[in-house]
Amino acid sequence: MDKRTLLAIVLSLIVVFAWQAFFATKPPPKQPEPTQQETPVPGTPAVKETAPAQLTPSQTRTILSQKIAGTEKDVTVVTPLYTAVFTTKGGSLKSYKLKEYRTTLDSNSDFIELVNVMEGMQKPLGITFPESNVDILPDSIFTADSSSLDLTQTQDNKKLTFTQIYPNEMKVEKTFTFYPGKYAIDLEVKVHNLSKAVISQTALLSWHQYVDPKAESDSYGHDGPISFIAKDVDLYEVNKIESGKLRGPDVSWAGFESKYFIASMIPQNPTLTSLFLSVDARNMVSVHLKGPQNIIPPGQIGLFGYSLYLGPKEHNILKALGVGLENSIDFGSWMKWLAMPLLVSLKFLNDYVKNYGIAILILTLIIKIVFWPLGNKSYKSMKEMQKLQPKIAELREKYKNDKTKLSQETMALYKTHKVNPLGGCLPMVLQIPVFFGLYKALMYSIELRHAPFYWWIQDLSAKDPYYITPIIMGATMLIQQKMTPAMGDPMQQKIMMLMPVFFTFLFISFPSGLVLYWLFQNILSIGQQYYINKRPL
């Protein structure tokens, strides 16, 4: 391969990796402009799309007396997958712990908690009706029809209903439906009109989350609000949220995400649902789903339906929901087509070997076998180019003052000896997309989170704690450099010899699973290059 071409490729890789490692998180969050007015329900007046306004004191006459009635109680729901704690204050979610995922590798560490609010803050999954003449304040006390639910010994789903009654006004029922083997939860809200007049309700379902301004950010992930509006994923940085700015309609889902987990709210009527965000002085970030307007005649019931998904970003589970929630995994719009097959292959191999590290090695070997003919062609081309180096050096000395003539004579030399200067470059270029696809698959797949290999590598999604594999990887790159024919001018050769050092420092912060892939790939390449170099042309 021509040294300049190889140098350009390697430098390009360094730029991309350096950007990913030190600057990039996810694509910059989009800030969609407010769209048109919400489509009204037939027979109802149009309502302009704005963030719900606060009620006036005269509108809270029933609420204030209701607010102080009753005592807050907790309701615990236990399933094989999670333990959820609800509170009768607002009929909201107080805690939600995932029983299959822990915060650290320590088997005694805490389970992953998806609810994070400080004392005095509103809790997630509260529902209000801010545009009606009777609102439910976030801290209103509901009554629950059960003190606890246990789904660990049953295959049947169970329901939990919170009820709030405003005499002669309305009755509100929030019914959660839980499934033993699912992270998905159904939520149905019924509003009974107990008055003698028609009432108009617009429901507001909210997820609240405290964001620590001093917490270290993950350069490879996004912690914050996320939405899927008009089939497009929007990410929102906490310090750039425009409180009260309405987005939508056509909100398929919205919620709060981290790199590996998501708490999402999924409306039944996405085309009539809008989204707005808010953040207060206490750093409580709120994601609100504003549903369609519902006109409820006296004695009738208004329904508002949602699904909830609170759990890991596991592609198969998310895709099965059928709402595009799998797009919350940052495989990238360009690399998704390649990252997904590689991830499926890894999971398939892991089903047999029961170790994702071994699965990575086997997948690396398979990829190497697929590209073996191209690799042979690349190394043969470099070997042929090496034989021409003395003649090329003569041409450089002869035409050192005539660059045009030097280029012409060099190309003529290649043609005479039937050598393609790009022959060693093309195979490498074709393998670059595979590497980036695997990079995405290993970087953002929850399957590799806390997945052990052997010895000191007990988490393939984290960096090597002792930097052993990056250093060995750098050494294998240095061996490859020594085996590669020296081409180009002395300055280019010196720069090329620094490439292993650059890559070593670059890979130090990469997940050990990705370093393992690159290291094994280098070892296989060294073997292949040694084989070609020993064979006569």
Residue 322 has pLDDT above 50, yes or no: yes
pLDDT at 382 over 80: no
pLDDT band at 144 (very low <50, low <70, confident <90, very high): very high
Q: For residue 407, is pLDDT > 80?
A: no
Q: How confident is the model at residue 333 (pLDDT cuts 50, 70, 90)?
A: low
- What pLDDT score was predicted for residue 116? 93
Cis peptide before 270 (omega within 30 of 0): no
Inform me whether the pLDDT recorded for 104 exceeds 70: yes
Q: How far, in Å, CA of 81 to CA of 247, rounded? A: 33
Residue 69 has a pLDDT of 56
Highest mean pLDDT pick, 113-117, 380-384, 427-431: 113-117
Which amino acid type is present at position 130?
Answer: P
Q: In this predicted model, which residue has the larger pLDDT, 415 or 112?
A: 112
Most confident of 11-20, 171-180, 340-349: 171-180
Q: Would you place residue 373 in the very low, low, confident or very high pLDDT band (cuts 50, 70, 90)?
A: confident
**Which of the two residues, 108 and 51, has the higher pLDDT score?**
108
d(CA 372, CA 368): 6
Mean pLDDT of the chain: 79
Least confident of 24-28, 468-472, 520-524: 24-28
pLDDT, residue 19, reads 46
The radius of gyration of the chain from alpha carbons, rounded to an integer in Å, stands at: 30
Q: Per the confidence metrics, is the pTM higher than 0.85? A: no
> 63-329 domain in CATH 2.70.98.90?
yes
Residue 22 is predicted with a pLDDT of 44
Q: Per the structure block, which two tokens stand in for 234?
A: 């929007």
Q: Which residue has the higher pLDDT, 394 or 458?
A: 458
Of the pLDDT bands very low, low, confident and very high (cuts 50, 70, 90), residue 536 is low
Of the listed ranges 34-48, 260-274, 457-471, the one predicted with least confidence = 34-48
- Using the predicted structure, report yes or no on whether residue 135 has a pLDDT greater than 70: no
Tell me what pLDDT residue 47 has: 35
190-249 pLDDT, tens digit per residue, is 999 898 888 888 888 999 999 887 777 666 778 889 999 988 888 888 878 877 777 878
> For residues 95 and 32, what is the distance between their CA atoms, to the nearest angstrom?
32
Nearest to 64, CA basis, from 53, 77, 55? 55
In the prediction, which pLDDT does 12 show?
53
Whether residue 312 is predicted with pLDDT greater than 90 in this model: the reply is yes
Residue 454 predicted with pLDDT over 60: yes
Q: Give the mean pLDDT of 371-393.
A: 69
**Residue keyed to tokens 């999402």:** 264
Q: What residue ranges of the chain are covered by domains with CATH 2.70.98.90?
A: 63-329
Q: What is the per-residue pLDDT across 105-119, written as a single tens digit (0 to 9) for each?
A: 888 889 999 999 988
State residue 251's pLDDT score. 92
- What's the half-sphere exposure (Cβ side, CA atoms, 13 Å) at 153? 2
The pLDDT, as a whole number, for residue 106 is: 84
Residue 275 near residue 290, CB atoms below 8 Å = yes
Q: What is the pLDDT of residues 65-87, one digit of tens each?
A: 344 456 889 999 999 999 999 99
pLDDT tens readout for residues 486-497: 555 556 666 667
Mean pLDDT, residues 288-313: 91
Whole-angstrom distance, CA of residue 225 vs CA of residue 241:
9
